[in-house]
Each structure stands twice: as C-alpha cells, then as structure tokens.
Structure 1
Amino acid sequence: MIQRIQTIFLFVVILLTGVLPFWVNLWSDANGNEIYADNEIMVSGLFYVSAVLAMIAILLFKNRKNQFVLNRLNMILNLFLLGFFVYRSLNLSGETSVSEKGIGMLIPVFSIVFLVLANRAIKKDEDLVKSVDRLR
C-alpha cells in the first residue's frame, strides 16, 4: 500500500535527487562560480534517473521484490554518482578546476541512507507476509 513508511523514505529520495541538486551548489570553481546540477548534463541526468527510479519503486508497491531490486539499482546509481563527485574533487591538484566543495556533493550519501531504510521496511513487510502465509 502507498501509506507504508518506505513510501515516505522513497518520497524523500525523490525530493533529494529530483529537486535539491538544482537549488544547492555542488562545488565552486576557481573563479568563484557556483556549479549546480543543471550546469553539468551528466550529473543532472543521473539525478533525474535516480528520482525516476524512486518514483517507479513507489508505484511498484504491490510487488515488493521488484521494489527491493529497484531500490538496490538506485543505490548503485547513487554510489556511482558519489564516486564521480569524489573523483571530480580529488582528481585535479592545486585547485585549478574545483576550488570549493559544496554541500550538494553529500546528496547521494543521504539518498543512499534513505534507500537503505526503505529496503529495510520492504524486507520487514515481506517477512511479515511470509510468516502469515506460513500459518495458513
């Protein structure tokens, strides 16, 4: 059902990855220009794909196994995005390209945390259904 706690967690992931990266700067370059997600095509695309995966996971509330797998895929996507941010911030030395890291680089971390919480709730529901089926 849609009123379960994992729906709230997935809705928070949608807000984190679909809205927040476009309001919070990801980093500032050497000139002091703030870089947002809409300035980088690949980054904005990955954020949108993550938000769409979370929305599809909400709509798959009747099939908990597919919802669980889709959340795992979303976690892998966010880990890739986090790895890109770490690579981007540590690749160039001497602050030639990335001068200041923004709070937006932590968005994939928070997204992964909420996806793990959603998967725990989905697993708990699945175990409850299995235990009720066992009693019949």
Structure 2
Amino acid sequence: MIQRIQTVYLALTMIVSGVLPFVFPLWTLTDKKVVWFMENMAYAILFGLSATLALLAILSYKKRQHQFVINRLNMILNLILIGLFVYCSLNLSGETPAVSEKGIGMFLPIVSIVLLVLANKAIKKDDDLVKSVDRLR
C-alpha cells in the first residue's frame, strides 16, 4: 500500500534530492561567489537521477524487493555524489579547503542516504511481516 511509512521516507528523499538543491548552495568561494549544483552538469544529472529513483521506488510499492534494490542503487548514487563533492571541494582552483565555505547543499546526499536506510528498514519489516503471515497459512 502506498500509505506506508517507507513512502514518507522516500517522498522526503525525493524532496531532498529534487527540490532542496535549488534552495541551498554547494559552497561559497573566497570572492563570495556562490556555487550551485546547476553549474556542473554531473551534479545536476546525479541529483535528478536520485530524485527519479526515489519516485520510481514510491511507484513500485507492490514489489517490496524491487523497491529495496532501487533504494540500494540510490544509496550508491548518493555515495558517488558525496565523493564528487569531497573531491571538488578539496581541489578548488588554487585554494586550501579552509578558505572556502561549505554550504548545506553538500550534505543533502547524506540526508538522502539516511532517509533511504530508514525506508529500507521499513520495507524489510513489511516483508518480514508478510512472510510470517504466509507461514501461518
């Protein structure tokens, strides 16, 4: 059913990956230039793909194992996004990492991963409940 708790977690993941990158910048350079995710095509594609996978997981609510696998793929995608953020923030042109100010947008994939883990726990709990009821029949 679509009114399960994992749907709430997945909807929050979709909001974190699809809406909040437009609100929060990734980092601010020393000359007060704000860097948004849209300035790098890879970030835009990865955030969009993450939001799309969350929506796909919401829509496949009848297939719990399929939902579980989609969430795992989404977690791997967000880990790649975190790796890109760390790499780019440490290799900003001619700066040391202490000079640039990191924005909240760099931590959005971490929030997304936490929400996906909570959704996977809820999916596993539902799956175990269905299997226990099938055993009683």
Return the TM-score normalized by structure 2.
0.94
The answer on whether the counterparts of 1:23 and 1:36 sit within 8 Å (CA) in structure 2 is no
The CA distance in 1 between the partners of 2:40 and 2:96, in whole Å, is: 18
Q: Does 2:23 match 1:18?
A: no
The CA distance in 2 between the partners of 1:91 and 1:34, in whole Å, is: 16
The CA distance in 1 between the partners of 2:30 and 2:88, in whole Å, is: 14
> What are the Cα deviations for residues 58-114 of structure 1, in whole angstroms up to 9, with x where unaligned?
000000000000000000000000011111112348527972211110000000000
- The answer for the alignment partner of 2:66 in structure 1 is 66
The residue identity in structure 1 corresponding to 2:3 is: Q
- The answer for the alignment partner of 1:8 in structure 2 is 8
Matches within 5 A, 1:1-136: 1-92=1-92, 95=95, 99-136=100-137
Segments of 5+ residues of structure 1 without an aligned counterpart are: none
Aligned residues: 136
Across the aligned residues of Structure 1 and Structure 2, the Cα RMSD in angstroms comes to: 1.6
Identity of aligned residues (%): 61
Return the TM-score normalized by structure 1.
0.94
Segments of 5+ residues of structure 2 without an aligned counterpart are: none
The CA distance in 2 between the partners of 1:43 and 1:30, in whole Å, is: 21
The CA distance in 1 between the partners of 2:93 and 2:19, in whole Å, is: 31
